[in-house]
Amino acid sequence: MPIFDHFSFDLEMLYGGVDGQKFAMERPNIQARHSRKYFGRGKGVVAYTLLCNHVPLQGWVIGAHEYEAHYAFDVWYRNTSEIKPTVVTGDMHSINKANFVIFHWFDGVFAPRFTDANAQLKELYCVDDPALYEKYLIQPAGRIELQAIENEKEGIAQIVATLALKDMTQATLIRKICTYSTSNPTRRAVFEYDKLVRSIYTLRYLRDPQLQRNVHRSQNRIESYHQLRAAIAQVGGKKELTGQTDIDIEISNQCARLMANAIIYYNSAILSRLLVRCQGKPKALALITSTSPVAWRHLLLGGHYTFEDGGKTIDLDALLDGLELE
């Protein structure tokens, strides 16, 4: 639709965002876990979503005890839609000791939003002697062992091949690596490589205000989607997923994502028609292109419905005939 061309805020890079949303369980199952902050005395799960240009492309259900960062790569790489984000943003919960380099191996860019930029200075590493930076304002936290990376080239290639063939998930890989001793060459190589990629991104993030704005806007969009998902879930009375088995919970989550997609499509179709009608009207175009399709105030989510339209589709053009924008 024409309006989607205006949702992208970078013509060269397609931004997507990952984040998890907590949902209580109607009937707790083996996947549900306690979280007093979100569920009180009850149990719940996390709906982990990949969003791109307001569209929820992929959604998984994980346990509330799971670390969300261990699923950031999988939800992006195993995305089955035709939309392929090249940059994946996230919050601080999306960062671990390997995500930067894993995305780098697969020609993706992991771009988390830093809440405390000063704290990230402790994660900056250099490849030269740290003594060379004594006169600089920013001091590296340490030196990256490039030789450790080069010596473990074959081990890294095996990891990349395993992830590429989808023989192992990212979460399983990270857990396996973390069980190794700190002196294990494969563990050292992966973590040192991640320091290198993370340091480069951190310096870009601190120096490029436009990159910061793009990352913030991408994360703000997924937060808006979470508000819509919460509104859909609360139609039944509570913000929860229904079902008893893992399959039931997955179906409940995917059905809600489908409803959210339908609402976003409906709003986007209206905005697209308005965009075509208002060509040559700068003020109207500015208003339309800045309007988010994630809105539901004009929709009645609860109530009684009667489906007697005979299969006819909604005439959006007739709906907009009485609307005039200057």
Q: Residue 96's pLDDT is what?
A: 92
Beta bridge partners of 15: 87
The CB density around residue 90, as the number of other CB atoms within 10 Å, is 24
- Which residue from 24, 59, 27, 57 is spatially nearest to 253, judged by alpha carbons? 59
For residues 284 and 326, what is the distance between their CA atoms, to the nearest angstrom? 6
209-219 per-position pLDDT tens digit: 999 999 999 99
CA 316 centroid distance within chain: 31
* CA-only gyration radius of the chain, Å: 23
Alpha carbons 148 and 193: distance in angstroms, whole number? 9
Residue 45 has pLDDT above 80, yes or no: yes
pTM, two decimal places = 0.91
Name every residue whose Cβ is closer than 8 Å to that of residue 72 and which is 6 or more positions away in sequence.
Answer: 18, 88, 90, 94, 99, 110, 170
CB–CB of 45/32 below 8 Å? yes
Mean pLDDT on 16-35: 87
pLDDT tens digits along 277-322 = 888 888 888 888 888 999 998 888 887 777 777 777 778 888 888 7
